[in-house]
């Protein structure tokens, strides 16, 4: 009985292993490195003539577009995860594992970004990118849902209603990117335009 109680205590108090603030600082570093790696993908070959440089810059526009898209997505996830952590007083093992999985997805986002830059006109390239973002958003939403269901993890004074907001915002982002995956079979461009729905839907549902 004592051992079982000890196991439950360890499960609920992962904060004693690694502090909330230290984990958040680690996460900030991962987000920053991921964005830096996105920028490093924007290059042109060396030794080009003036005429060749014009063509190379034209081809780089796809890289710039992919960078801006992923920069916005990573930025939204970064802001949302800070907003969630502002509502969290302590961690349990579930929050810790979900957060580490989220950081793994963020660290790997340069790959699907490169994929959509090179193959954004294909259903597979667009679907892989949408799947990556949907999974990252799902992990963050799962963290928010965990805190919503375990109010003891929340910071003092944080209401259940306040904890519901990040769950709704995250669910909208997951739904938009997940439902765009079958749309890639119709048109990759249509699927990519579908992602824009996340902006008005999140605002409207959060207010509701």
Q: Does position 22 have pLDDT exceeding 90, yes or no?
A: no
Looking at the chain, the whole-number percentage of residues with pLDDT higher than 90 is 45
Q: Is 134 left (phi over 0), alpha (psi -120 to 50) or beta?
A: alpha
Q: Is the pLDDT of residue 7 over 60?
A: no
Query: pLDDT per residue over 141-153, tens digit each?
Result: 999 999 999 988 8
Rounded to an integer, the average pLDDT of 121-139 is: 95
How far is it, in rounded angstroms, from Cα 37 to Cα 114?
A: 10
Backbone φ, ψ for residue 92 (5° rounding): -120, 175
pLDDT at residue 101 is higher than 80? yes
Residue 51 region by backbone torsions, left for phi larger than 0, else alpha for psi between -120 and 50, else beta: alpha
pTM of the model: 0.84
Q: Which range among 29-43, 54-68, 114-128, 159-173 shows the weakest confidence by mean pLDDT? A: 54-68
Owner of token pair 């509701």 = 208
* Res 3: pLDDT: 43
Q: Answer whether 37's CB lies under 8 Å from 110's CB.
A: yes
pLDDT attached to residue 10? 46
CA dihedral 108, 190, 137, 200 (to 10 degrees): 140
Does the pLDDT value for residue 194 go beyond 70?
A: yes
| Separation between Cα atoms, residue 109 and residue 4, nearest integer Å | 39
Confidence check: pLDDT of 16 > 60 = no
Tokens 């963290």 sit on residue: 143
Which residue has tokens 């959509």?
Answer: 116
Please determine, for residue 2, whether its predicted confidence score (pLDDT) is greater than 60: no
Q: What is the mean pLDDT of residues 196-205?
A: 77
pLDDT tens digit sequence for 33-77? 999 988 877 766 666 666 666 666 667 777 888 889 999 999 999
CA distances from 126 to 71, 86, 108, 111, 121 (A): 16, 33, 16, 12, 7
SS3 154: strand
């Amino acid at each position: 009985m004592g051992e079982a109680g000890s196991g439950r205590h360890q499960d609920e108090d992962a904060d004693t292993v690694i502090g909330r603030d230290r984990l958040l600082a680690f996460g900030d570093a991962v987000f920053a490195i991921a964005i830096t790696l996105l920028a490093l993908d924007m290059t042109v070959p060396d030794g080009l003539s003036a005429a060749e440089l014009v063509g190379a810059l034209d081809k780089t526009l796809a890289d710039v577009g992919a960078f801006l898209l992923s920069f916005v997505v990573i930025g939204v996830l970064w802001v949302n995860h800070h907003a969630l952590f502002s509502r969290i007083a302590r961690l349990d093992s579930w929050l810790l594992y979900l957060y580490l999985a989220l950081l793994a997805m963020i660290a790997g986002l340069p790959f699907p970004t490169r994929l959509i830059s090179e193959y954004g006109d294909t259903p597979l390239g667009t679907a892989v990118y949408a799947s990556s973002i949907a999974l990252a958003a799902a992990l963050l939403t799962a963290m928010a849902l965990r805190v919503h269901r375990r109010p003891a993890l929340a910071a003092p004074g944080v209401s259940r209603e306040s904890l519901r907001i990040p769950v709704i915002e995250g669910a909208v982002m997951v739904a938009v990117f997940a439902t765009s995956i079958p749309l890639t079979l119709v048109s990759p461009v249509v699927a990519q335009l579908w992602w824009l729905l996340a902006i008005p839907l999140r605002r409207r549902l959060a207010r509701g």
